[in-house]
């Protein structure tokens, strides 16, 4: 079952679902979703410095990215063909009986901006800001401003709560993240890590 605005409000009031800061619920809570705003931090891949990213390499992926922090009244220009990691302004906490789906907003989709490549899911138990995989599939640069509504979350209720939710017990790599996080694929068990 997908949560409606009434369900979302009830879960927020009960406190088991957290979206903070939720500064303008009348605007941000849609009929079946919550709009999330763009944060100020971005990670850009440095094209000239990357020979090839390989999960078994001794070099960490975050060695190939450079952080940009935009002033509150500034903007980040996303050029055609660019891919950057951004972050939501809001921090979320997903209870053990919900899955949150990260979706783009149609107004930005009509400008050819997508907010995730494949990571469109927040597992039960996830806590933290959400890293956005921002791409410009169009032919014109688009200005992104901190605080603009950039994405939306929809929530699906599980038949039963997760037995092993995302988090410390599982060794989840991105729990409690703040700001955009580069890939930690080298921590995956199949590449010699423990997760």
pLDDT at residue 64, rounded to an integer: 73
139 is annotated as contributing to ligand binding: no
- CATH code, 81: 2.70.40.10
Round the average pLDDT of the chain to a whole number and report it. Answer: 90
Report, as an integer, the average pLDDT of 97-106: 96
Examine residue 123 and state whether it is found in any structural domain, yes or no.
Answer: yes
DSSP calls for 154-182: EEEE-SS--SS-SSGGGT-TTTTB-S---
Asked whether the predicted pLDDT for residue 131 surpasses 60, the reply is yes
Count the residues in the chain: 195
CA of residue 34 relative to chain centroid, distance: 13
**3-class secondary-structure state, position 27:** helix
**Parent domain of 147:** 5-48+55-162+169-179
Report, as an integer, the average pLDDT of 32-43: 97
Examine residue 189 and state whether it is found in any structural domain, yes or no.
Answer: no
Report, as an integer, the average pLDDT of 87-110: 96
Examine residue 134 and state whether it is found in any structural domain, yes or no.
Answer: yes
Examine residue 101 and state whether it is found in any structural domain, yes or no.
Answer: yes
Q: Which of 44, 60, 93, 133 is catalytic?
A: 133
157 is catalytic: no
Over the stretch 40-72, which tens digit does the pLDDT of each residue have? 999 998 766 656 665 665 555 666 778 999 998
pLDDT at residue 50, rounded to an integer: 59
78 is annotated as contributing to ligand binding: no
Domain count, the chain: 1
Examine residue 140 and state whether it is found in any structural domain, yes or no.
Answer: yes
Examine residue 195 and state whether it is found in any structural domain, yes or no.
Answer: no
Report, as an integer, the average pLDDT of 25-31: 97
Asked whether the predicted pLDDT for residue 192 surpasses 90, the reply is no
CA torsion angle for 176, 178, 179, 184 (degrees, to 10)?
Answer: -40
108 is annotated as contributing to ligand binding: yes
pTM of the model: 0.89
Examine residue 188 and state whether it is found in any structural domain, yes or no.
Answer: no
Examine residue 184 and state whether it is found in any structural domain, yes or no.
Answer: no
30 is annotated as contributing to ligand binding: no
Report percent pLDDT > 90 for the chain: 73
123 is annotated as contributing to ligand binding: yes
Report, as an integer, the average pLDDT of 1-27: 97
């Amino acid at each position: 079952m997908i949560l409606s605005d009434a369900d979302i409000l009830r879960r927020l009031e009960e406190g088991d679902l957290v979206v903070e800061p939720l500064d303008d619920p009348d605007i941000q809570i849609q009929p079946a979703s919550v709009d999330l705003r763009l944060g100020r931090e971005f990670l850009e891949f440095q094209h000239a410095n990357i020979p090839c990213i390989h999960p078994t390499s001794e070099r960490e992926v975050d060695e190939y990215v450079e952080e940009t922090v935009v002033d509150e009244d500034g903007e980040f220009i996303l050029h055609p063909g660019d891919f950057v990691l951004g972050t939501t302004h809001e921090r979320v906490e997903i209870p053990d009986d919900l899955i949150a789906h990260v979706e783009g907003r149609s107004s930005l989709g009509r400008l050819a901006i997508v907010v995730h490549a494949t990571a469109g899911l927040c597992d039960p138990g996830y806590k933290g800001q959400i890293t956005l995989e921002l791409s410009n599939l169009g032919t014109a640069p688009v200005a992104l401003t901190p605080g603009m509504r950039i994405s939306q979350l929809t929530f699906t209720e599980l038949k039963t709560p997760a037995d092993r939710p995302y988090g410390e017990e599982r060794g989840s790599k991105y729990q409690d993240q703040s700001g955009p996080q580069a890939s930690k694929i080298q921590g995956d068990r199949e590449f010699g890590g423990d997760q």
